Amino acid sequence: MSEALLRSLVWLDFRLAVLFTVLLPLVLLIWAFVQKNEAIQRLLIIYWRVSSLLAVTVYLLIGGALVSFLSGPLARVLIPISLWFWVDLNEEISEQRRSPLKLAFTAWRWAVSVYCVLGVLGTLPFLQCAFSRATFSTPFCQVWAEPPLLYKQFFHAGSTPQFLGFLGILGLGVYVLCLLYFVIFRLGKQGRSALEQ
């Protein structure tokens, strides 16, 4: 694959990520609050907790952390799981009468799930970037840092990449601790019910 084609695909992926994982769920969350749809609200709040790993990945990429090539695909695996895992929320949403919010939410949930699955498959060749600093330094891997570095210019122009990378590592540590707490202590107790969320 040529470098120009790879660059255009990476930028397309980041644009789709902003659309599917930030803008649309934000609009849906606001809409669900306005409509007082508690099931969709709860599911979207769970989604935002899980998808925060994507934001952590952006900061890791800015800082040049190799682990970013593992955290990104992991986020894309966890997002569909978080959207379909909860039996009680799925039942409550499916039993709701038809409405524009339910239709939009259902369409987005399917679309973001397909996007994440395709994204995981598309990033498999780049997993090698996580295990070798020499490979990480090649244009093949560095092209993934271009969109996060543009983000840095807009939102963190005065910060160093090292500091933002440190924030990414800190965020990853907190995320892993929260995930472990959920898996070890809460999952066994509450099962696939989101009522205790």
Q: What is the mean pLDDT of residues 22-44?
A: 97
Per-residue confidence band for 192, with pLDDT thresholds at 50, 70 and 90: confident
Q: With 70 as the cut, is the pLDDT of residue 197 above it?
A: no
- Decide if 16 is inside a domain: yes
pLDDT value for 1? 74
Q: What is the mean pLDDT of residues 77-88?
A: 95
- Decide if 195 is inside a domain: no
Number of domains within the chain: 1
- Decide if 196 is inside a domain: no
Q: With 80 as the cut, is the pLDDT of residue 45 above it?
A: yes
Query: Which tens digit of pLDDT belongs to each residue from 115-144?
Result: 999 999 999 999 999 999 999 999 999 999
Q: What angle do CA 33, 78, 12 make, to 5 degrees?
A: 85
Q: With 70 as the cut, is the pLDDT of residue 196 above it?
A: no
pLDDT value for 61? 97
- Decide if 176 is inside a domain: yes
How far is Cα 83 from Cα 99, in angstroms, rounded to an integer?
A: 19
- Decide if 155 is inside a domain: yes
- Decide if 167 is inside a domain: yes
Query: Which tens digit of pLDDT belongs to each residue from 67-81?
Result: 999 999 999 999 999
Q: Chain-wide mean pLDDT for the chain?
A: 94
Nearest alpha carbon to residue 62 among 177, 134, 167, 139: 167
Q: Write out the residue range of the structural domain in which residue 149 sits.
A: 3-190
- Decide if 159 is inside a domain: yes
- Decide if 197 is inside a domain: no
Within 13 Å, how many C-alpha atoms sit on residue 63's CB side? 22
